[in-house]
Amino acid sequence: MANPSVDVPRTLGFCTVRSHAEHGYFGGYLILNSHARPLEFHCTLPVKPSRAQEILYGATLADFVCGEQIAKALTSKAKLIPHVLLTDCSAVLALGRVSDLLVAYSPSTANPHNIPGSDESRLKNIKLGEHSLMIMRDDLHAEAKLRELWQQLDVSMDINEPFQRISEALLEAHPIMKAA
Q: How far apart are CA 179 and CA 100, in angstroms?
A: 36
| Per-residue model confidence (pLDDT) at position 113 | 58
Q: What is the pLDDT of residues 54-89, one digit of tens each?
A: 999 999 999 999 999 999 999 999 999 999 999 999
Task: Give the amino acid at 102.
Answer: L
* Per-residue pLDDT at 53 exceeds 90: yes
- Mean pLDDT for 5-9 is 50
**Domain spans in the chain, listed from the N-terminal domain onward:** 11-173
How would residue 51 be classed by pLDDT, with cut points 50, 70 and 90? very high
Q: What is the pLDDT of residues 113-135, one digit of tens each?
A: 557 666 677 888 999 888 889 89
Q: By percentage, how much of the chain surpasses pLDDT 90?
A: 51
For the chain, helix, strand, coil in percent to 5 are 40, 25, 35
Burial class (CB in 10 A: 0-12, 13-18, 19+), 11: buried
| Per-residue model confidence (pLDDT) at position 6 | 44
* Per-residue pLDDT at 178 exceeds 80: no
* Per-residue pLDDT at 8 exceeds 60: no
Write down the mean pLDDT value for the chain. Answer: 86
Q: Are 11 and 153 in contact (CB under 8 A)?
A: no
- Mean pLDDT for 142-150 is 88
